Chains A and B, each alone.
Chain A
């Protein structure tokens, strides 16, 4: 047997190009479905882990998937905004702690998450360097965001304009980086956290400017009537919050009217969660503009869709795999025909048919063993980096 293996090995080495092609083909057939399985399992784990630790999400009626993906994973699809009055509404029920989120703006491609300090407590986010948010205009970076941007406490970060050609729009705001979070292997690692009010400053809803009552430059005033003053576009609004100008920043109107994208509702217990959901469901019949979602249910629905797609993918892989196996059989059959003279010589040298079959079997066994080894190696690499691969390929 050892002799057969040795001769087969020498033969495969001599025809290394053909042998390598066969090994790669077999490896691919095996690796593709198995690696996909691994990655899908990991993405399921990651998606469900974050969803299962987030009890309830409240937001505007519309795509529940967009709302959950934006609120939990800071996805690019921004749901319709709701007002801060929705936060007061939940607080007034005394059934849950409302944690508002405003995930709409970006800084150098990374999501800016406007929230309050309760979010940090809820997600168990710890400051690794610097300090937590304290004043308007400050930001705290997730661990990977800080690494990607090359920023740390004391640096500055500009928010990105929403549309490049909106010349009359809000200017980018210069935020002070005051802290970097410890890594959590979650979407929080790639986010830029600001206080909700800072997010409104980025939007231009909260702003600071010269005291209009004390303006002396006539070109700053478009119209001055009894008790009313209309400023021109020349009036400079501050694009950076400093200790000198922080007191000039102010809200216009009631804070209850200010926009957010979602609320994480953290009920005190299961009964409170059920009661809160019941109130939204009951109000749904009377034109309730908001929806309350259990993120785990939404993500389970998403995963069901993914696994439906996966079964189609499996079928495709099966068909392609079968075709490849058939092609491999054909390659082997053709190579046997090509090697007809060679086989006849071996026979004339006195080898039995069984020996010839053993020789060919050893060649196939070596190819399959090499493919299995390579498959194992590739799967080990994928398994080792599955968390990062899933974040890079599927969840971000």
Chain B
């Protein structure tokens, strides 16, 4: 027997149309925010809630600090209501594209005097520009979670300027995020306070702000997790170890088995401390940072000192 098809009542159709158009209007009203890295996208999502549509367009397998968007993505950035920059020369691609200054928000501007300047490569001179080098600023500012909280505050201020009516909601969300960040900041500080002078190694120079904030005695090399270091790099490491007897090396990602084994032979354990510049496969910024804190606890926790 065929089921009886009843036509939808007119009132239901009207209600559906109203609902759909309300959703469309709401989507149009939402601010469009583009960010240059994942931490800023996470902060913006937490602070803006439903007020904004936050987009971080870099592919998941690139380091956003060295990424260059294509023309289509640049056009999307140009059309955004707010473009959240990390500052500290993080987003080098912005120096090669045209973006509207009125919509740019340099989230680390409040602490620009506290940027860490890295020693550059070879200084050189040519033409009328005089001597210069291409060294720059350390840019993983958010690894100092107190700085991350300031960046979140800059995002909130920019959002309030764009949506003054939502000030209360934005501030409420900001306070919740700041509480989370500062609680974690306090926890990491507590962990590292137990042995501040402990020598540590980093596979890459990305932990400068982390080291400064939490008093880590850290020396960085230039190793890639997926590449086996050459003999010259191993020799250089052994040279470092003579004055800096580190027992742990921090990595951005899991190192190769061969590298980890050879490091272990030198008495060095490997440990991942993910800067979380790109969107993590699992969890979010806060869960990754909590995991980082847990890993640091393995270095500084009770019993680790005997290693």
Residues of A within 8 A of B (CB): 91, 97-99, 116-118, 121, 131-136, 138, 195, 197, 204-205, 207, 209, 212-213, 227-232, 235, 237, 246-247, 249-253
Residues of B within 8 A of A (CB): 68, 71, 74-75, 78, 95-102, 121-132, 134
Cβ-neighbour of A197 out of B96, B123, B127, B129 (below 8 A): B96
A135-B74, A228-B131 known; A195 and B98 CB under 8 Å? yes
> Bound state CA distance, A235 and B129, in angstroms?
14
In this complex, the member of B95, B102, B128 whose beta carbon has the largest number of chain A beta carbons within 10 angstroms is B102
> Bound state CA distance, A136 and B71, in angstroms?
11
Residue in chain A with minimal CB distance to B123: A228
A134-B71, A231-B126 known; A213 and B121 CB under 8 Å? yes
Contacts of B131 in A (CB 8 A): 228, 230
Sort A-B residue pairs by CB-CB distance and give the 3 closest, nearest first: A231-B126, A229-B124, A117-B100
Contacts of A250 in B (CB 8 A): 95, 134
In the complex, the answer to whether B78 meets A136 with C-beta atoms within 8 Å is: no
In the complex, the answer to whether A230 meets B96 with C-beta atoms within 8 Å is: no
In the complex, the answer to whether B122 meets A135 with C-beta atoms within 8 Å is: no
In the complex, the answer to whether A252 meets B101 with C-beta atoms within 8 Å is: no
> Bound state CA distance, A230 and B127, in angstroms?
10
In the complex, the answer to whether A121 meets B98 with C-beta atoms within 8 Å is: no
Cβ-neighbour of A135 out of B96, B128, B132 (below 8 A): B96
Contacts of B96 in A (CB 8 A): 135-136, 197, 246-247, 249
In the complex, the answer to whether B132 meets A252 with C-beta atoms within 8 Å is: yes
In the complex, the answer to whether A252 meets B124 with C-beta atoms within 8 Å is: no
In the complex, the answer to whether B78 meets A209 with C-beta atoms within 8 Å is: no
Residue in chain A with minimal CB distance to B124: A229
In the complex, the answer to whether B127 meets A237 with C-beta atoms within 8 Å is: yes
> Bound state CA distance, A247 and B69, in angstroms?
12
A117-B78, A247-B68 known; A136 and B97 CB under 8 Å? yes
Cβ-neighbour of A209 out of B74, B97, B98, B126 (below 8 A): B126
> Bound state CA distance, A85 and B185, in angstroms?
34
A249-B96, A252-B132 known; A131 and B75 CB under 8 Å? yes
In the complex, the answer to whether B128 meets A227 with C-beta atoms within 8 Å is: no
Cβ-neighbour of B102 out of A97, A204, A246, A247 (below 8 A): A97
- Given contact pairs A213-B122, A229-B123, A246-B96, enumerate 12 new A-B contacts (beta carbons under 8 Å): A116-B99, A116-B101, A117-B101, A134-B75, A135-B98, A212-B124, A228-B122, A228-B124, A229-B125, A247-B96, A249-B96, A250-B95
Cβ-neighbour of B129 out of A134, A205, A247 (below 8 A): A205
> Bound state CA distance, A230 and B126, in angstroms?
6
> Bound state CA distance, A231 and B131, in angstroms?
10
Report the minimal beta-carbon distance from A160 to chain B, rounded to whole angstroms. 19
> Bound state CA distance, A121 and B103, in angstroms?
12
> Bound state CA distance, A257 and B216, in angstroms?
34
Contacts of B132 in A (CB 8 A): 252-253
In this complex, the member of B75, B97, B126 whose beta carbon has the largest number of chain A beta carbons within 10 angstroms is B126
Contacts of A207 in B (CB 8 A): 127, 129
- Cβ contacts A to B, 9 pairs, < 8 Å: A133-B98, A197-B96, A204-B128, A205-B129, A212-B124, A228-B131, A230-B124, A230-B125, A250-B134
In the complex, the answer to whether A231 meets B124 with C-beta atoms within 8 Å is: yes
In the complex, the answer to whether B97 meets A251 with C-beta atoms within 8 Å is: no
A118-B100, A118-B102, A246-B96 known; A132 and B78 CB under 8 Å? yes
> Bound state CA distance, A36 and B128, in angstroms?
50
Contacts of B121 in A (CB 8 A): 213
Report the minimal beta-carbon distance from B63 to chain A, rounded to whole angstroms. 14
In the complex, the answer to whether A227 meets B75 with C-beta atoms within 8 Å is: no
Contacts of B134 in A (CB 8 A): 250
In the complex, the answer to whether B127 meets A229 with C-beta atoms within 8 Å is: no
In the complex, the answer to whether B71 meets A135 with C-beta atoms within 8 Å is: yes
Report the minimal beta-carbon distance from A231 to chain B, rounded to whole angstroms. 4
> Bound state CA distance, A121 and B71, in angstroms?
20
> Bound state CA distance, A237 and B123, in angstroms?
17
> Bound state CA distance, A131 and B68, in angstroms?
19
A197-B95, A204-B129, A228-B131 known; A118 and B101 CB under 8 Å? yes
Contacts of B78 in A (CB 8 A): 117, 132, 134
Residue in chain A with minimal CB distance to B73: A134
Report the minimal beta-carbon distance from A365 to chain B, rounded to whole angstroms. 66
Contacts of B97 in A (CB 8 A): 134-136, 195
